[in-house]
Structure 1
Amino acid sequence: MVALKDAKSVSSKWPDLPADLLRLIYRKLYDTFDFINFRAVCKLWLAAAPLFEHPAQFPFILERETLHSSELKLFSLVSGKTRRIQVPEACNKSFFGQSQGYLATFKTGANYTDTSELTLLNPFTRAEVPLPFHGFRCYRPLHVGADPIQNSDDVVIYMNTDIACRFVGFWNNEDNINGWSLKGSFNIRAEAYNRGRLFFCNFVNSSITIFELTTGNKLEARLPYNDFRKNDFYSLGEGAAGAFLGIQRHFRPCPAEEYLSMEICWFEVYQLCEDPPSSPSSPSPCWVKLSDMSDLIIFLNEDTSGFCLPASDFEGVFKGNSIYFIDWHPTDNTRKLIGLYELGNHSSQVMIGQIESEGTWIVPNVF
């Protein structure tokens, strides 16, 4: 009986923890669901953890078992847990990549007609942003701002047609247009968007073509040589402090079963340098190889899309100078593997095996 009273006494003191101690606890809840559950404990904890002070949220691996399912699975590397959420808006829609927590979705079975539905879907809040582009075969979000519902001018979408005409759709607020515009047709695929510019891998002259979206001006940045891909980068995207990164991927030839170790895969990371050249013979812009990314963590999807986060946001839980990547399983084309590459020691390892074929990294856009 005494022990029982002591237990009740201890448990009753949890709501009375001082606010500074509660803050130390919830600031380390990098799994979105853990933070939400923390706030649901009691009114005092809810008040102690305001939404505007939410901790940094580590990406989930989002999966779906079938195209016709409205149930999405979210695996957390932080907690090791898999959560299941119901998103009816995702049912019968194909996913074409993600940006800022929004999935680009396309209604399956619409035969790419004018009645087809293209939307940006936030699977956490179920908010949708309809996009006015129809008749295209493939879509990819190059850039989505933190709140595309309120700020349409922060959305850039790549798309192409059955006859391989390529376009980029964006919200145009120049010259009092204030509406959606199409820029195209391009003869090569737009790979990335950064600060008003589109980036294309140009196979003809082994360079990256940089295209100013509003002015149409072009620049060329020669590619570093890569034995495996030779003419292009594996991925392009924005790094820390607005820097623009190009990532090359290399493989050592080996039997399929050895691929499971991922030890035969490695990456090289380059940063676009646009400073004025030191001499007339020096190219500008050019790519500079990085030997150390310091605080940066890169997340790469199988479709070569990706994003970066600072490891310092997660206070030692995850290491910087590393790349988390998704790749196809070598013996099962319905599954994928999650790998980790550490740039410092040039090593890759399997983190998680056997995720669904539609698996993708996604950062919660909830708060």
Structure 2
Amino acid sequence: MAEVMEDRGDQWSLLPPELLHLIYRKLPDTGDFLRFRAVCKAWRDGAPVSDQPPQLPWILEHRGTGLQARQQLRFYSHSSGRMYSVRAGGRSWLLASGACQGHAVATVDLSRTVMYNPFTGEGRALPPAPYKPWHDGVFHVVDDGEAGCLVVNTSAKTRRFAYCRPGVDAGWNVFDGREDMRHSAYHGGRFFVNTAAGETLAIEAATCAVEAVVPPPPGENFATARGDFLVGSRGKLLRAVQHPRDGNQAASAADYYVNMYQLDVRGGGKAAWSKVETIGDAVLFFDDHGHGFSLEPNDAAGLRRDCVYFVHEKRTWVEFCEYRFLCRYSMKDGRVDKTVQLADTFGNTWVVPSL
């Protein structure tokens, strides 16, 4: 029997690399990807960490049973239906809200701010937050190319923001020159920030200087907009403006539609927003804080191309409870589908698992 098992093991290890690629790219969960790589050396070499399969991001728990007793962070993977927990190093952790690329940001014992990789357990201390993260600060982590990552902390009250590069900057670079800023995104070494008037500021990250002011999309009505989001996707900067279909407060997720724009640089260095009807193979995610990110489609994980994912939340006073759904808006036909119902303790803050 041992010889038969050994022979079969040799056969599995001899699968061609192109077949291995087809298999592991369909795995819907990072945990399954790690188990795949642990089978043998041939599978580990054929499935590099740099080529993880796309998947739904993890939803992060936003409240626990007791503040001082909370010594771990909990995450839920929709792709596998599994719960993941990360044990903290302090007596209590508070998760800082905001979409996070590969990392979560938390405050330990209400004093230390830490950037944490929830899958590997790797943590890195950050400088003291410029805004109280448990009171009015919203964090998000963005990819900064070869430079690594960038942590952005936005004041939920004043909309001013600060940023730092972990391990590089000793403190936070604070941009507080205006008080009409709304949602922001980091793209190509610049911050792009939407204002209350619908304009978009292009801010050079190295100097905090406003390089350009892009006019609002022509004909867009921001008075009825529920959300005004910015996100970098496949080398382009996109802007999604979400509206209720009847112009009033939407009663259900199906009552929303999205106007999508792309930033185009024209002659003379001038930039303008141009409306687009498709985002191609991209899959966009947004949260209520105005942060977003772009993923690749994957049928196994339920990610569909040319779609925008958002969370719809509604309080039902009859039953004295809330319900949340992760919803998917199709750019192709304008249809909204409820993909996953969320537990009451899980909000719309998520992290894309990273190895």
TM over 0.5, shorter chain: yes
Deviations 1:240-260 (A, max 9, x none): 1x211111001034999x834
**Contact 2:60-2:349 at 8 Å conserved across structures:** yes
Distance 1:182 1:22, change over 3 A: closer
Inter-partner Cα distance in structure 1 for 2:271 and 2:145:
32
Report how far residue 314 of structure 1 moved. 6.0
In structure 2, do the counterparts of structure 1 residues 229 and 330 end up closer, same or farther at CA, with 3 Å as the change threshold?
farther
Per-residue deviation, 1:172: 11
1:299 aligns with 2:301: no
Q: 1:272 to 1:44 in 2, by over 3 A?
A: closer
Between 132-141 and 336-345, report the one with greater CA deviation: 132-141
Q: Which amino acid aligns with 1:347?
A: R
Q: Secondary structure at the match of 1:325?
A: strand
- Give 1:246-285 correspondences, 5 Å limit: 246-253=239-246, 259-260=251-252, 262-276=253-267, 284-285=270-271
After superposition, the Cα gap between the structure-2 partners of 1:135 and 1:286, relative to the gap in structure 1 and judged at 3 Å, is closer
Q: Is the 8 A contact 2:194 2:200 kept in 1?
A: yes
SS, match of residue 345 in structure 1? coil
SS at match of 1:36: helix
CA distance in 1, matches of 2:229, 2:322: 23
Deviations 1:40-82 (A, max 9, x none): 34x35654544346432313332327334425132233x4x22
Say which of 126, 129, 140 aligns to 2:124: 129
Give, in whole Å, the separation in 2 of the partners of 1:183 and 1:64: 29
SS in 1 for 2:241: strand
Gaps of 5+ in 1: 111-115, 278-282
73, 76, 84: which one aligns with 1:74: 76
8 Å CA contact 1:299, 1:361 repeated in 2: no
Partner of 1:349: 337
Q: Which has the higher contact order (CA 8 A, sep 6+)?
A: 2
Query: Is the contact made by 2:187 and 2:237 (CA closer than 8 Å) also made in structure 1?
Result: yes
Find the counterpart in structure 1 of residue 99 from structure 2.
98
Structure 2 letter corresponding to 1:64 = E
Structure 1 position 272, deviation (Å)? 0.8
Partner SS, residue 19 of structure 1: coil
Q: Which residue of 171, 176, 196 corresponds with 2:189?
A: 196
CA shift, 1:273, in A, is 0.9
**1:354 is matched by which residue type in structure 2?**
L
Which residue of structure 2 aligns with residue 244 of structure 1? 237
In structure 1, the residue matched to 2:142 is 144
1:280 is matched with which residue? none
Question: Computing the radius of gyration over CA atoms, which structure comes out larger, 1 or 2?
Answer: 1
Q: Does 1:57 align with 2:50?
A: no
- In structure 2, what is the Cα distance between the partners aligned to 1:209 and 1:40? 47
Structure 2: distance between partners of 1:349 and 1:269? 18
Counterpart for residue 276 of structure 2: 290
AA at the equivalent of 2:86 = Q
**Counterpart contact for 1:22–1:48, Cα < 8 Å:** no
Q: 2:32 matched to which residue of 1? A: 34
Provide the aligned C-alpha RMSD in A.
3.7
* Amino acid across the alignment from 1:191: S
Counterpart Cα distance in 1 of 2:191 and 2:283: 23
In the TM superposition, what whole-angstrom CA distance separates every residue of 1:98-118 from its partner, at most 9, and x where no partner exists? 33211122346x3xxxxx222
Are the aligned partners of 2:162 and 2:174 in contact in 1 as well (CA < 8 Å)?
A: yes
1:322 aligns with 2:307: yes
Q: Quote how far apart the aligned CAs of 1:89 are.
A: 4.8
Q: How far apart are residue 142 of structure 1 and its match?
A: 5.0
- Deviation readout 1:168-191 (Å, 9 max, x if unpaired): 233499xxx964342332323462
In structure 2, do the counterparts of structure 1 residues 230 and 259 end up closer, same or farther at CA, with 3 Å as the change threshold?
A: closer
SS of the equivalent of 2:267 reads: coil
Residue aligning to 1:113: none
Q: Give the CA deviation at 1:11.
A: 10
Q: Could you tell me how far apart the structure 1 residues matched to 2:227 and 2:176 are? A: 22
Pick aligned residue for 1:157 from 152, 155, 167: 152
- Structure 1 residue 223 displacement after superposition: 1.5
Cα 1:293–1:47, aligned 2, differ >3 Å: closer, same or farther? closer
The residue identity in structure 2 corresponding to 1:120 is M
Q: Kindly indicate whether the alpha-carbon contact (under 8 Å) linking 1:263 and 1:349 is maintained by their aligned counterparts in 2.
A: yes
Distance 1:74 1:286 in 2: 39
